Amino acid sequence: MVEIDKTKPVMVTGGSGYLASWIVKKLLDEGINVHATVRDPADIAKVGHLQAMAQAADTELKLFQADLLQPGSFDEACQGCELIFHTASPFHLTKVKNPEETLIKPAKQGTRNVLKTVQSSPDAKRVVLTSSAAAVYGDNVDIKSCPEGAFTEENWNRTSSPDHLPYSYSKTIAEKEAWDIASQQSQWDLVTINPGWILGPSLTPRVDSASIKTLIMFGDGTYKLGVPNLCSPVADVRDVAEAHIRVGFNRQASGRHLVVSEQATLLDIGKILRKNFGPEYPFPSREAPKALFWLIAPRYGFTRKWVSRNVGCDVRFDNSRSKQELGMTYIPFEQTVTDHFRQLIDDGLVPKH
């Protein structure tokens, strides 16, 4: 059991990120001081929203420059922190020209560098690693090997590789690396959050997140002729942030935690958007035949192997552990999608109609 002192600062890596910004906000709103690492603390466009949140909450926020590939760059930020949230990791799903340099090396080496810092910090007691449901499964077709018909925290992604779903592979090896390092010491414990596809409103008008780019594509006509029949685990960014907070301060928390509100298809998103924002936007109203998408997939950055193993195959996830042990109650998916698209409109990322 780990007792975290809330009067001490909490460290958040990648603090200006889509998910991390919500974690920082929740910590500040609870009166907890935060040490957030960012690439450039002087870049107001990237960190201004964090500073505004700290002022509104009347809580101390310190920003530290850090680089995932630079050993020792997290040392200063970690000083005095008992709880560390490691969220920083690259997120690119398609058109990755060099997976090793773009995804795999930053994910694995970054985790190693952060945990090396933790190991040298006498105050550290717990690390909460933002992993992914992608470390639980690789392809949708993997569901056929689940005896109970649903993925759980016991499952591991065994089908991804640097050449096939490199992002999923990077999350898998990064989490395994973290568990291996944690097993070699007894000063601090490791807990992971394994969220599904994260959607929901961003705290900044950013477009550098794959999740945000996808929602923009729903509004700009990219999918107007149809979407592939792709089923994914989904979660609201606000719920995922809340799960981090709960697992961080829960004395008895341990192991992995799937954070998934439900399973949804791309057409489900299109239907929600059409219902709430009307027909004037070019939202998709149908699914593209698998055979057609198989032919044109490379144009959109997807391989035909990925299409064969994922399109048209439903998946299911067991989120009972997050409900029972963390007390999670999930935001309805319709609200997630609606709030997200409204934020994109308000921030001028999709045109108003």
Does residue 317 contact residue 151 with C-beta atoms inside 8 Å? yes
Annotated active-site residue in 108, 125, 171, 290: 171
Write the DSSP symbol of residue 82. Answer: S
Handedness of CA 343, 349, 352, 353 (dihedral sign): negative
Q: What H or E segment, with its residue span, contains residue 35?
A: strand 34-38
Measured CA to CA, the distance from residue 272 to residue 260 in angstroms comes to 18
Phi first, then psi, for residue 194 (nearest 5°) are: -120, 80
Name the CATH architecture for the domain at 10-346: 3-Layer(aba) Sandwich (3.40)
Per the listing, tokens 């690492």 go with: 37
Mark the ranges of the chain whose per-residue pLDDT is less than 70: 89-98, 353
Predicted local distance difference test score (pLDDT) of residue 97: 61
Measured CA to CA, the distance from residue 272 to residue 334 in angstroms comes to 6
Predicted local distance difference test score (pLDDT) of residue 96: 56
> What does the DSSP assignment read for 260-299?
-SEEEEHHHHHHHHHHHH-TTS----SBPPHHHHHHHGGG
CB atoms within 10 A of CB 241: 27
Write the DSSP symbol of residue 155. Answer: -
CB atoms within 10 A of CB 112: 17
* Helix, strand or coil, per DSSP, at residue 57: helix
Residue among 107, 98, 341, 93 nearest 230 (CA): 93
Q: What H or E segment, with its residue span, contains residue 236?
A: strand 231-236
Annotation says 125 is catalytic: no
Measured CA to CA, the distance from residue 307 to residue 332 in angstroms comes to 28
68 Cβ neighbours under 8 A, 6+ residues apart: 88, 89, 106, 109, 110, 113, 114
CB atoms within 10 A of CB 36: 31
Predicted local distance difference test score (pLDDT) of residue 94: 45
* Helix, strand or coil, per DSSP, at residue 75: helix
Q: What is the pLDDT of residues 101-119, one digit of tens each?
A: 777 888 888 899 999 999 9
Residue among 153, 331, 128, 131 nearest 247 (CA): 128
Predicted local distance difference test score (pLDDT) of residue 105: 83
Domains in the chain: boundaries: 10-346
CB atoms within 10 A of CB 104: 21
Buried b (16+ CB within 10 A) or exposed e, 47-70: bebbeebbeebebebbbbebebee
pTM for the model:
0.95
Predicted local distance difference test score (pLDDT) of residue 111: 93
**What residue type is 110 in one-letter code?**
G
Q: What is the pLDDT of residues 202-258, one digit of tens each?
A: 999 988 788 888 999 999 998 898 999 999 999 999 999 999 999 999 999 999 999
Measured CA to CA, the distance from residue 275 to residue 267 in angstroms comes to 12
